[in-house]
Structure 1
Amino acid sequence: MYGEPSQTLNMGDSFNGVPYLLIDSAFSAATDTLLLPYTIYSQATKGSIKVN
């Protein structure tokens, strides 16, 4: 509690120096890009989902 603060920047967990946040963001962007055409097709053919 009374020690000196760390001088290293803490970016969270990482894999080979690449933060997991960056890896996850890349996979999420790729998945969203691949699924977007299917989503557009489904909405065009089936219509919008009715919400109560």
Structure 2
Amino acid sequence: MSYNFCLLYGEPSKSKNLGGGINDVPWFVFDSVFSVVADTVVIPYTIVTQSNKGNIKVN
């Protein structure tokens, strides 16, 4: 996701090619939307699981 923010707010590219896309919408826009939806679905599950089972023990 941070790479997508760099593409959005970084210095403009001198070339028009941003890696392809659909109907002049670059792929990173689709990736950002998918990431937001996936985080919205997964984060509540993670919070509930962690509150029930506790923290993961790291060796």
Confirm or deny a common fold (TM above 0.5): yes
Structure 1: where are the runs of 5+ without partners? 1-6
Q: CA RMSD in A?
A: 1.6
Residue in 2 aligned with 1:4?
A: none
Provide the C-alpha distance between the structure 1 equivalents of 2:22 and 2:55, rounded to a whole number of angstroms.
40
Residue in 2 aligned with 1:30?
A: 37
The structure with higher relative contact order (CA 8 Å, sep 6+) is 2
- The TM-score with structure 1 as length reference comes to 0.76
Identity percentage of aligned residues? 48
Larger radius of gyration: 1
Q: Deviations over 1:12-49 (max 9, x none)?
A: 21111110011011101111011111000000000000
Greater share of helix: 2
Structure 2: where are the runs of 5+ without partners? 1-13
